[in-house]
Amino acid sequence: MRTALVTGASRGIGRAIALRLAKDGFRVIVNYARDGAAAREVVDRIGANAVAVRADLGVPEEVTALAQRVAAETDVLDVLVNNAGIGLPRPIGEVTRADYARLFAVNVEGPFFLTQQLLPLIPDGGRIVNLTSGVTRIAFPEAIAYAMSKGAVQTFTLALAKELGPRGITVNNVAPGIIDTDANAGWLRGDPEAQARAAGRHAVNRVGRADEIADVVAFAASPQAGFVTGTTIDATGGGNL
C-alpha cells in the first residue's frame, strides 16, 4: 500500500486531500498542529489506514519530530503534500516582525526542512505537491507577506523539480482560489455581499470547494501526472483573469 503524508490535514483543504488520497488507496499520515479532535475525526473517517501526528511546522524541533515519526511509520513515503499554512490578511503597514517571522516559519521554513528530512524516504517516481495560492500571480497588497510566502514556495518547487527530475520524482504546486473552508468562515459564510464579492473574483462566478482542490492534488499525486513537474496547477476558477 502506498503512503502519503498530508500536513495541516485536520480541517479544510488538507482534510479533503487526506480523505481523497485515502479513497485512492493511500495509507494517510494526517498531520495537525492544534485540533486533535478534528484530526481524529479524519482518521476515524479513513479507518485503519490512517494515523494522526501532531506537529507545528513553525517550530523546527517539531518538524524534525514529524519527520522522525513518519520514518517510524513507513520505510517509503510515496506522496508528500505540503498543505499546512497560515494566513496574514494585513497590508504592509500593519505587519509586525513577529507576524512576518511566524508566517515564514510555517509557510516556508517548515515545508523546506520537512521535505529535506523526508527526501530519503521518497522513492523514484514519488510525488511532492505544495499548496500555494492564486495570489502569487496577482497584486495582492491586502495580504502582502502571505503572498510573498507562497511565492517563495513556488520558487522552491521549481528548483526542487529540477533536482529530483532524474529520479522521476515530480514536484508541483497547486494554487487554490477562494475556497469555502473554516478558515474563511468568519468573513465569507453568512454574508451574501462578501460571498458575491468573492465569487466575482473568479471567472466561474462562485467560491470553490475543498474537495475540488483535493481532486487536483490527487491528480498531481497520481501516476498520470508523471510528465508534469516544476509547474503550478491553477485551481482558482479563473481568479482575477
Quickly list DSSP for 68-107.
HHHHHH-S---EEEE---------GGG--HHHHHHHHIII
Whether the per-residue pLDDT at 120 is higher than 80: the answer is yes
Domain of 141: which CATH number?
3.40.50.720
Q: Where are the beta strands (DSSP E) in 126-240?
A: 127-131, 170-176, 232-235
The pLDDT of residue 157: 98
pLDDT tens digits for range 35-46:
999 999 999 999
Whether the per-residue pLDDT at 205 is higher than 80: the answer is yes
Number of domains within the chain: 1
Would you please indicate which residues are annotated as catalytic (active-site) residues? Answer: 146
Q: What is the mean pLDDT of residues 48-75?
A: 98
Is residue 241 domain-resident? Answer: no
Residue (of 207, 147, 161, 154) closest to 13 by Cα position: 207
The pLDDT of residue 189: 77
Is residue 71 domain-resident? Answer: yes
Beta carbons within 10 angstroms of residue 176's beta carbon? 25
Tell me the pLDDT band of 187, cut-offs 50, 70 and 90.
low
Tell me the pLDDT band of 232, cut-offs 50, 70 and 90.
very high
Cα of 181 vs its chain's centroid, Å? 14
Is residue 167 domain-resident? Answer: yes
Is residue 32 domain-resident? Answer: yes
Question: Where is pLDDT greater, at 29 or 181?
Answer: 29
Tell me the pLDDT band of 128, cut-offs 50, 70 and 90.
very high
Whether the per-residue pLDDT at 57 is higher than 70: the answer is yes
The pLDDT of residue 68: 98
The pLDDT of residue 191: 78
The pLDDT of residue 184: 77
Q: What is the mean pLDDT of residues 44-71?
A: 98
Is residue 240 domain-resident? Answer: no
Q: Is the dihedral of CA 79, 59, 177, 140 positive or negative?
A: negative
Is residue 121 domain-resident? Answer: yes
Q: What is the mean pLDDT of residues 6-26?
A: 98
The pLDDT of residue 186: 66
Residue (of 86, 93, 167, 171) closest to 128 by Cα position: 171
What's the CA gap between 168 and 30, in Å, rounded? Answer: 25
Gyration radius from the chain CA atoms? 17
The pLDDT of residue 196: 86
Is residue 92 domain-resident? Answer: yes
Q: What is the mean pLDDT of residues 155-182?
A: 96
Is residue 151 domain-resident? Answer: yes
Tell me the pLDDT band of 119, cut-offs 50, 70 and 90.
very high
The grid coordinates of residue 117 equal 528530512
Quick check: pTM over 0.95? yes
The pLDDT of residue 36: 98
Domain range for 59: 3-235
